């Protein structure tokens, strides 16, 4: 691996790689783990998931600052320097087909898939930017910005309707989980936690088990989201919203709700299209 000694990256390679490794664990990896766990609460019903989403949005005006400081900026940093590492490194998988070389290549490829997945995932559910002009004139006309925090389960199910979106999320979640689990193993080498062959072997077992477990949590959440009864979920969510507004727990915010039963109408349209399909 070669670098231009006079370049900023060449002069600060050690620090950049350490920060890149650390950001992949905390906060990016930690956030992904919590995110998948919150999504998996769908197995307990729309109400349980809505409670978790409400807790997140209870941050109110501080939520955007928290998102940018602990989620978006760390992800952008990790992605940007991940691309630099990919461009400045070369896998020898074509010449030496050892497991470590395949893992090296897979780490790079799943990193690229993860970047693209996160980029479109945020656009698909949240529209990237929350200004009215952007949402109404750019995101929504393209079929994006589907998620509404106060109708969390029903709008998530609507967003995942069809055939292609579940596949997109399946591949994206698996890529992110592999990249994180294998990245934890690599970080252990980088930070000198496991250096002996025996320690690395045990770390491989632990990271593999953790990756499989986290992957199962993510896939369970994805499958459950595609099986939601949208009509019932919206009824539960609207009741919870009305109660919380009445008790003063949340302030009325129509931007965070699905309007005119749009999620129900979309779900009914999807069901009708399946019923009308040739048998």
pTM of the model: 0.87
Q: If you average pLDDT over residues 31-55, what whole number do you get? A: 97
% of the chain beyond a pLDDT of 90 = 74
Cβ neighbours for 272, distance < 8 A, ≥ 6 positions apart: none
Q: What's the longest Cα–Cα distance across the chain? A: 67
Q: Which residue has the higher pLDDT, 124 or 85?
A: 124
DSSP 16-76: HHHHHHHHIIIIIIHHHHHHHHHHHGGGG-HHHHHHHHHHHHTTGGGHHHHHIIIIIHHHH
Q: What is the pLDDT of residue 16?
A: 86
Q: Examine residue 277 and state whether it is found in any structural domain, yes or no.
A: no
On average, the pLDDT of the chain sits at 88
Residue 36 lies in domain: 9-272
CATH number for the domain harbouring residue 174:
1.20.1300.10
Question: So what's the pLDDT on residue 233?
Answer: 98
Does 271 or 117 have the greater pLDDT score? Answer: 117
Domain count, the chain: 1
Asked if residue 243 has pLDDT above 50, the reply is: yes
3 within a domain of the structure (yes/no): no
Whole-angstrom distance, CA of residue 47 vs CA of residue 168 = 26
Task: Look at residue 4 and tell me if it is in a domain.
Answer: no
CA–chain centroid gap for 95, Å, is 34
User: Is the confidence at residue 147, as pLDDT, over 50?
Assistant: yes
26 within some domain:
yes
pLDDT for residue 35 is more than 90:
yes
Residue 181 lies in a domain: yes
Residue 231: inside a domain, yes or no? yes
100 within a domain of the structure (yes/no): yes
**Number of other CB atoms surrounding residue 76 within 10 Å:** 14
Q: Is 2 a member of any domain? A: no
């Amino acid at each position: 691996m070669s670098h231009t000694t006079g370049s900023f990256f060449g002069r600060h390679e050690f620090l950049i790689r350490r920060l890149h490794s650390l950001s992949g664990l905390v906060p990016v990896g930690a956030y992904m783990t919590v995110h998948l766990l919150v999504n998996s609460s769908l197995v307990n019903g729309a109400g349980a998931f809505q409670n978790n989403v409400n807790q997140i949005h209870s941050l109110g005006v501080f939520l955007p600052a928290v998102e940018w400081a602990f989620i978006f900026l760390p992800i952008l940093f990790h992605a940007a320097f991940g691309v630099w590492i990919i461009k400045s490194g070369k896998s020898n998988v074509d010449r030496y087909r050892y497991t470590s070389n395949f893992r090296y290549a897979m780490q790079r490829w799943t990193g690229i898939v993860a970047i693209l997945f996160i980029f479109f995932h945020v656009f698909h559910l949240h529209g990237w930017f929350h200004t009215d002009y952007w949402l109404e004139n750019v995101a929504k006309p393209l079929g994006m910005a589907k998620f509404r925090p106060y109708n969390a389960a029903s709008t998530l199910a609507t967003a995942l309707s069809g055939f292609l979106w579940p596949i997109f999320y399946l591949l994206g979640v698996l890529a992110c989980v592999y990249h994180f689990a294998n990245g934890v193993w690599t970080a252990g080498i980088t930070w000198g936690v496991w250096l002996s062959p025996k320690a690395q072997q045990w770390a491989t077992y632990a990271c593999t088990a953790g990756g499989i477990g986290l992957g199962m949590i993510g896939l369970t959440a994805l499958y459950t989201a595609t099986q939601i009864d949208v009509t019932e979920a919206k009824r539960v969510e609207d009741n919870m919203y009305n109660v919380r507004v009445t008790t003063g727990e949340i302030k009325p915010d129509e931007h965070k709700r699905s309007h005119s039963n749009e999620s129900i109408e979309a779900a009914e349209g999807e069901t009708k299209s399946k019923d009308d399909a040739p048998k």
